[in-house]
Amino acid sequence: MSDGVYLDHAASTPMRPAAIAAMEPYLVSEFGNSSGSHRAAAAAKAALEEARDSIAALLGASPHEVVFTGGGTEADNLAVKGAARAARAGSGGAGGHANVVTARFEHKGVLASCDRLAAEGFSVTRVGAGLDGVVALDELADAIGPDTVVVSVMLVNNEVGTIQPLAEIVELTRARAPHAVVHTDAVQAVPWVDVASLAAGADLVAISAHKFGGPKGVGALVVRRGTALEPLIEGGGQEGGLRSGSSNVAGVVAMAAALRVTVEERAADVCRIAPLRDRLVDGLLAAVPDSFENGERARKVAGNAHLGFRGVEAEALLVSLDARGIYAAAGSSCSSGATDPSHVLEAMGVPRADALSSVRFSLGFASTDADVDAALGIVPDAVARLRAAVAAA
């Protein structure tokens, strides 16, 4: 960014030039509705299906298995609710005997979907994680049983960036609940790991374009052949009846372009960004007394730096950093304005005080050495000033 140092790529990334170029015609001249029958509509339909083919190939799926959505949250909702409700319908409506298993550190799109299912009579089991940031496989194994209909564990955690053992999770599920559907939120994974390979065993895979250089408001759900889903949105029957509504052709085309560039450049980006992340983390740990890292770095994606600074409230630090042109993130805030600790850190067993002092700095394809230099120059001083203010109060 020209007016600051952007270290919040896990929240959203700048659009890639290729995605902007691909999107522009469908915002200006090629504006037909892909559901129509005239030539303008046919051109939009052709672009939509070409993008579907490209995205499917890059995700290790068949074109008919890709369902376009309004983003990652919608994809997660469709996967978790849709699979659970379809399983209940297939069992004659015995929803009270159907169990959904997930992790306590999932994205809120998954957790809120599970809350909704619980209100509908499903049982929901939420398992924890270790301080390393990895889901507790022993708890997960105990939670999965013959009545389990959905297991949902993200491929990469959205806060601490840890890669989850999805192949083992799939294996556990197939052994303990052969008829259960496995869903993974791969929204944070796309820039860093080969989703086509690591998520090959999952029945449902969610992605979101703005996490890898595409526009906001568009995503996709891979629905493997034979996976039953009930739609959330009904109407004209678009997307195989799973997501009705006029297609976001411009967004989908841009998402396909961004995904293609991301996959092509992923290895080079990881090789460049991981040392930047390490320099940032090691530099801050060395420069700031009583600081610590959340999650095991060896298990993280290359762009994630999640640090805590004891004696400093994360929200106060973020305000100070924002004023000095450093943009980062922390846990959620409730409507009263009081800061709640991150549910992810709570699930990992991080003490409350440490969770409230933790900040996520996330790098991406646009990050530079200069960004790290700026953070190393500003963050230690900001922490020191806040600590001094607290001591003087």
Q: So which residues are the catalytic ones?
A: 334
> At residue 206, what is the residue type?
A
User: Which tokens hold the place of 171?
Assistant: 């294996």
- How far is it, in rounded angstroms, from Cα 74 to Cα 117? 15
User: Which tokens hold the place of 352?
Assistant: 């409350």
- How far is it, in rounded angstroms, from Cα 277 to Cα 162? 14
Contact between 281 and 297 under an 8 Å Cβ cutoff? The reply is yes
CA distances from 86 to 56, 80, 149, 226 (A): 24, 10, 9, 12
Beta pairing class for 304-309 and 358-362: antiparallel
Residue at token pair 């990895």: 134
Backbone angles phi, psi at 166, to 5 degrees: -65, -35
Backbone angles phi, psi at 307, to 5 degrees: -125, 150
> At residue 313, what is the residue type?
E
Residue at token pair 């801050």: 284
Beta pairing class for 181-185 and 148-152: parallel
Contact between 186 and 195 under an 8 Å Cβ cutoff? The reply is yes
User: Which tokens hold the place of 276?
Assistant: 């930047």
- How far is it, in rounded angstroms, from Cα 112 to Cα 126? 12
CA distances from 301 to 189, 240, 263, 306 (A): 8, 34, 15, 11
Reduce the secondary structure of 26-90 to three states and give it as a string: HHHCCCCCCCCCCHHHHHHHHHHHHHHHHHHHHHCCCHHHEEEECCHHHHHHHHHHHHHHHHHHH
